[in-house]
Structure 1
């Protein structure tokens, strides 16, 4: 049988939840935008310690004119002696917006990290995670979870509810305790200053270039989560959810 729409109101969110939600949302959108600009500058992803235009890529993304350029002038030696260093110039006009893109990415990341830490600490000490997100006894049984997945796919449960369902809890817990930590730690691993002080990060993520690739895939999963999240909000009562997440009513 199909689930019938309910008339229960959406969750009433505390002020700190609403504030952190919007700061994190804006920070994430800026991170996604600036991250895409950075990726356009160098749309190649590698695995291991190092990677550049002259080394094989794990794969390359067709996101700018820098994609599969194949344009290098003949190498020119600095000196006439044998074994001297050489240089090669690009034979085409590259897309390069690395400066402001990286600056905006770095600034937005700190807003996300600081707000995220505050949200995490507040969520643990106020019981927000335990009461709202942590599954209750028997709630995550395979049968109930699969029934919830099927109901969502059939668009039968998208009504404003006063409690999160099992699929929502799994998604939020995965974002908060898996994807977000991976995003932050891989971002730190790409910083030479950070890895000089904490070299274990390079071992944890198999090298700086591997961390960049993992960072990319984690961001893709977060962006997919955001798209689905917005779609579900619209489907289940946009006005009610927006009121609950803005003025708390």
Structure 2
């Protein structure tokens, strides 16, 4: 049944509430959110201890294999400036990277204090926080993966099919116009995005993190061979985290564009409001 609009006399679609997200999905979502928050900022604390990335197994003065470095350098006029080297190009990043803060309270570190946990230089604490939440992240991921295989969420809602690939151009165009069809199901763009993050980025984060551990290298030496060296694994680890941060930024924008109250309700209670015409096909997400 539809509701008539008083202004135009036209009928508005009836809204119904469906179950969109099961308990496993909701717990995993918030578990990842917490773990990734601490992993990101403690990871930047660790990066500040040696703010450079390399390709290969080794690094040092005898090797010219850096792809990124952030440092404070003294310019010709005697001023200390933040300098970022990326793939053969150097950029002045004073105030953001390398050198930050006011002139009275200069901070000479790759990432500023507000972007690290703890906010002061403390590599030992940063490593403890990072490793603790890394194992939390692994536990949540494995639990989600097992539950999603058992309840069909992975096959039904994450893995894209031929129909999703065919619908992708239209879905991208609709998103660029901020037009969203609230039927409670993941569209083709969401499926591809979630599949990339959950089945590519997350496993890469875990495996490259393990590759950087000397203990894991001794137990599983093939990890180093797979990634072409510990330094390459560290670089991939950093890049994947940057991609996840980018995904998170777009995700937040889409949540606000699609209706933040409805989206937040679905991820807290599992209930999602859809048009009545879609009520039969939009439920059952786990």
If the TM-score is normalised by the length of the shorter chain, which range does it land in? 0.7 to 0.9
Give the unaligned 5+ runs of structure 1.
68-94
Instruction: Please report how far the alpha carbon of residue 156 of structure 1 lies from its aligned counterpart in structure 2 after TM superposition.
Output: 2.2
Are the aligned partners of 1:160 and 1:237 in contact in 2 as well (CA < 8 Å)? no
Q: How many residues align?
A: 215
User: After alignment, is 128-137 or 103-112 more displaced?
Assistant: 128-137
Per the alignment, residue 78 of structure 1 pairs with: none
Per the alignment, residue 233 of structure 2 pairs with: 211
1:45 is the counterpart of 2:53: yes
1:152 is the counterpart of 2:175: yes
SS in 1 for 2:57: coil
Instruction: Check 1:202–1:222 CA distance in 2 against 1; reply closer, same or farther (3 A cut).
Output: same
Q: Residues of 2 paired with 1:14 and 1:128: CA distance?
A: 9
Instruction: Please report how far the alpha carbon of residue 242 of structure 1 lies from its aligned counterpart in structure 2 after TM superposition.
Output: 0.9
1:119 is the counterpart of 2:144: yes
Instruction: Please report how far the alpha carbon of residue 41 of structure 1 lies from its aligned counterpart in structure 2 after TM superposition.
Output: 2.2
Per the alignment, residue 212 of structure 2 pairs with: 190
- TM-score, with structure 1 as normaliser: 0.79
1:245 is the counterpart of 2:267: yes
Instruction: Check 1:195–1:209 CA distance in 2 against 1; reply closer, same or farther (3 A cut).
Output: same
Instruction: Please report how far the alpha carbon of residue 66 of structure 1 lies from its aligned counterpart in structure 2 after TM superposition.
Output: 4.4
Listed as ranges, the matches of 1:16-95 within 5 Å are: 16-52=24-60, 55-56=63-64, 57-61=66-70, 62=84, 63-64=97-98, 65-66=108-109
Give the unaligned 5+ runs of structure 2.
1-12, 71-83, 85-96, 99-107, 111-119, 272-286
SS in 1 for 2:259: helix
Q: Which of the pair is proportionally richer in helix?
A: 1
- Per-residue CA deviation, residues 214-249 of structure 1 (Å, 9 max, x unaligned), is 101011111111111111111101111111111222
Instruction: Please report how far the alpha carbon of residue 9 of structure 1 lies from its aligned counterpart in structure 2 after TM superposition.
Output: 5.4
Q: Residues of 2 paired with 1:118 and 1:183: CA distance?
A: 16
Q: Which of the pair is proportionally richer in strand?
A: 2
Q: Residues of 1 paired with 2:249 and 2:228: CA distance?
A: 30
Per the alignment, residue 23 of structure 2 pairs with: 15
Alignment RMSD (CA, Å): 2.2
Are the aligned partners of 1:124 and 1:130 in contact in 2 as well (CA < 8 Å)? yes
